[in-house]
C-alpha cells in the first residue's frame, strides 16, 4: 500500500491502524536509520530489515519512502542510490504474502516508476476540506471535554489549509492554556492570540 500526501494528514496513523486491526506487529523503517553516507551500507541495512521481517507476520512501514525509492533515471542521482532502489524493489518482490508493506511519501512524483507497480493499493491523504476540518474539530472538542472558544465551523474557516495534525495541536493547545490559567482563564483571548500566531506562521 502506498500512502501519498502532505505531512500531518494521517499516513503513519493509518499504517498503525492497519496493524492494530490485523493484530500484527508494526515495524517502522525511518530514513535516518537506513540511509548511510558509507558506500554499500544503506543496501546492507535494507537487507537486514527484510531478512528480519521475512519470517514474521507483520506490517512493515517505510516513512519518507521517496528518500530510498527515488527515480533512477534522474541524472543528478549517484550510482549508489540507484543500487539501493534496485535492492529495495527486489526485496519487496521477494517478501512472502503474510508481510503487509505500507509506504508513505510526501512527494510521490519523486518515486521511481518501477516502485509504483509494486503497490496494489494507492491512497492520497490530502489536507482536510472545510467540512472534514469541522467534523474533526467537533470530535476534538468532545474528546477534550471542553469548549474551544469558537464554533468548530468558525475555527475550520480561520485555520484553512491546516493539516489534521495542526488542527489537533491547535485544539490541544487551547485547552492546555485554558486549564493552566484557571481560575482566571480568558478562553476568547487565548483563541484570538493563537489564531494571530497561526496566521503569522502560515505567511512565513
Compute the distance between CA of residue 201 and CA of residue 197 in angstroms, rounded to an integer.
6
Q: Which CA distances in Å does 194 have to 82, 122, 199?
A: 46, 36, 9
In this prediction the pTM is 0.85
Domain boundaries, the chain: 2-124, 130-202
Superfamily designation of domain 2-124:
P-loop containing nucleotide triphosphate hydrolases (3.40.50.300)
Q: How many CB atoms lie within 10 A of CB 179?
A: 11
pLDDT digits (tens, 9 = 90+) for 67-106: 889 888 766 655 677 888 899 999 999 999 999 999 999 9
Compute the distance between CA of residue 105 and CA of residue 61 in angstroms, rounded to an integer.
11
Residue 41 pLDDT? 84
pLDDT digits (tens, 9 = 90+) for 43-53: 888 999 999 99
| Cβ-proximal residues to 128 (8 Å cutoff; 6+ apart), any chain | 9, 136, 162, 163, 164, 167
Amino acid at each position: 500500500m502506498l500512502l501519498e500526501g502532505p505531512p500531518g494528514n494521517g499516513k503513519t496513523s493509518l499504517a498503525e491502524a492497519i496493524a492494530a486491526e490485523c493484530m500484527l506487529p508494526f515495524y517502522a523503517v525511518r530514513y535516518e536509520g537506513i540511509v548511510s553516507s558509507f558506500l554499500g551500507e544503506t543496501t546492507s541495512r535494507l537487507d537486514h530489515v527484510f531478512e528480519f521481517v521475512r519470517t514474521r507476520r507483520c506490517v512493515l512501514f517505510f516513512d519518507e519512502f521517496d528518500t530510498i525509492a527515488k527515480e533512477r533515471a534522474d541524472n543528478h542521482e549517484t550510482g549508489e542510490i540507484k543500487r539501493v532502489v534496485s535492492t529495495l524493489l527486489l526485496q519487496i518482490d521477494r517478501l512472502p504474502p503474510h508481510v503487509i508493506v505500507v509506504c508513505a511519501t510526501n512527494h510521490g512524483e519523486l518515486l521511481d516508476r518501477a516502485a509504483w507497480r509494486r503497490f496494489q493499493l494507492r491512497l492520497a491523504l490530502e489536507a482536510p476540506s472545510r467540512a472534514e476540518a469541522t467534523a474533526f474539530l467537533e470530535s476534538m472538542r468532545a474528546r477534550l471535554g471542553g469548549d474551544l472558544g469558537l464554533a468548530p465551523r468558525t475555527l475550520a474557516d480561520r485555520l484553512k489549509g491546516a493539516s489534521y495534525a495542526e488542527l489537533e495541536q491547535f485544539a490541544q493547545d487551547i485547552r492546555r492554556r485554558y486549564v493552566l490559567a484557571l481560575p482566571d482563564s480568558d478562553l476568547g483571548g487565548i483563541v484570538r492570540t493563537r489564531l494571530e500566531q497561526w496566521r503569522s506562521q502560515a505567511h512565513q
